[in-house]
Amino acid sequence: MQNENRSENFSRRHLITFDDWTLEEIESVLELAGELKRIRYAGELVETLKQKTLFMIFFEQSTRTRNSMEAAMTQLGGHAHDLTADKMQISHGESPMDTAKVLSRMGEGIAIRNCFYDIGNKYLNEIAKFSDIPVISMQDDIYHPLQAIADLMTIREKFGRNLDGLKVVISWAYATTHAKPLSVPQSQILLFPRYGMDVVVAHPEEFPLQQNIIEKARSNASKHGGKISFVNSMEDALEDADVIIPKNWGGFAYFDEFDDSREMHEQMKANLEMHRDWILDAKKFSLAKRDCRIMHALPADRNHEITDALLDSENSIIYDEAENRLHTAKSILSLLMK
């Protein structure tokens, strides 16, 4: 496996968002992920991170991110500490600087999930500022780079490398489980137009994405030949779609000036209940292309965001997408921590 030269470019690099990574760097991630996937299927061993340690700090729950990252470290010959903020001195107020400097003396990488609105991304950047080892976002309130790169890998596997004009609909959908961060759709709208895709975002007025991210996504689209547009109806977005991603997100960006988070969540819940009809079902799906692929970062709120029948249909590629979290995680960890 020839990743010696690739890794040189990544020394002392953090991954908080792919928006500050070049297309060349992202290509290295995708190429190595493909190679590592083939190697795993062939049953061969790659121990590029032997004796290396990754500290994973979770402020929230996770199934895919936690397990793809820990399995990645094990399969690469290293070890991941599965930490939660409440088990660390973070819970007693230890500063990001002290946390970053201490962990930098003991291992080779720090990965963090902190999705608290208006807190998570700032916390990750504080850690990155003081860390001597790579800091990797496992999702914050603004970005989820590990999800977006796995999604891009999956789309390329299904549609090939030339994605010019591929119509990808990212649609808000009703859910009852919890107020999900904006980070998955925001990372997707930043990344996909850089690959020439025609991205249509559908959402009720009360559930916009952050304005600065929308502006950056528009700029990425015009620079790289992709397209991005926004509509307030799922049906209007779906005509001739090649890919549909039905996904709930909270109305945080609508309340940027809100002081009281309890009031914000109550208002968000009231807004949510007005849009119970935002479910991807057979009638709406019939507007898309016949072989349209359904993606979802998971966990899905089944029969609220999307019907079981569609999520379990032949059009659905959700488990390929989830599996690619492992291969892309291995690639990123190999490049950054080697």
Pick the stretch among 4-12, 91-99, 158-166, 291-299 that binds ligand CP (CB under 6 A): 291-299
**Residue 60 burial by CB count (10 A; 0-12/13-18/19+): exposed, middle or buried?**
middle
Site string for ligand CP, 136-175 (x = CB under 6 A): ---x-------x----------------------------
Site size toward ligand CP (CB under 6 A) is 9
Choice between 107 and 299, CB closer to ligand CP: 299
Phi, psi of 172 (to 5 degrees): -60, 145
Pick the stretch among 60-68, 154-162, 191-199, 235-243 that binds ligand CP (CB under 6 A): 60-68
Could you tell me the smallest distance in angstroms from the CB atom of residue 64 to ligand CP? 4
Phi, psi of 333 (to 5 degrees): -65, -40
Do the beta carbons of residue 230 and residue 153 sit within 8 Å? no
Site string for ligand CP, 72-111 (x = CB under 6 A): ----------------------------------------
Three-state secondary structure call for residue 99: helix
Kindly state whether residue 64 participates in binding ligand CP, applying the rule CB under 6 A.
Answer: yes
Kindly state whether residue 187 participates in binding ligand CP, applying the rule CB under 6 A.
Answer: no
Pick the stretch among 62-70, 77-85, 212-220, 239-247 that binds ligand CP (CB under 6 A): 62-70
Could you tell me the smallest distance in angstroms from the CB atom of residue 63 to ligand CP? 4
* Binding residue (CB under 6 A) for ligand CP from 218, 298, 304, 320: 298
CA distances from 131 to 111, 124, 172, 251, 322 (A): 11, 10, 36, 32, 29
Kindly state whether residue 65 participates in binding ligand CP, applying the rule CB under 6 A.
Answer: yes
Looking from the CA of 270 toward its CB, the CA atoms found within 13 Å total 5
What the block records as the tokens of 177 is 């489980």
Kindly state whether residue 63 participates in binding ligand CP, applying the rule CB under 6 A.
Answer: yes
Three-state secondary structure call for residue 48: coil
Choice between 46 and 298, CB closer to ligand CP: 298
Could you tell me the smallest distance in angstroms from the CB atom of residue 138 to ligand CP? 7
Pick the stretch among 8-16, 57-65, 152-160, 188-196 that binds ligand CP (CB under 6 A): 57-65
Choice between 179 and 287, CB closer to ligand CP: 179
Kindly state whether residue 297 participates in binding ligand CP, applying the rule CB under 6 A.
Answer: yes
* Binding residue (CB under 6 A) for ligand CP from 34, 46, 62, 338: 62
Torsion of CA 322, 25, 116, 257, to 10 degrees: -130
Pick the stretch among 73-81, 90-98, 295-303, 310-318 that binds ligand CP (CB under 6 A): 295-303
Three-state secondary structure call for residue 22: coil
DSSP string across 129-186: HH-SS-EEEEEESS--HHHHHHHHHHHHHHH-S--TT-EEEEEE---SS----SHHHH
Q: Which amino acid appears at position 52 of this protein?
A: K
Spatial separation of the C-alpha atoms in residues 171 and 279, rounded to whole Å = 9
Could you tell me the smallest distance in angstroms from the CB atom of residue 69 to ligand CP? 9
* Distance, CA of 182 to chain centre: 10
Query: Rule CB under 6 A: which residues touch ligand CP?
Result: 62-65, 139, 147, 297-299
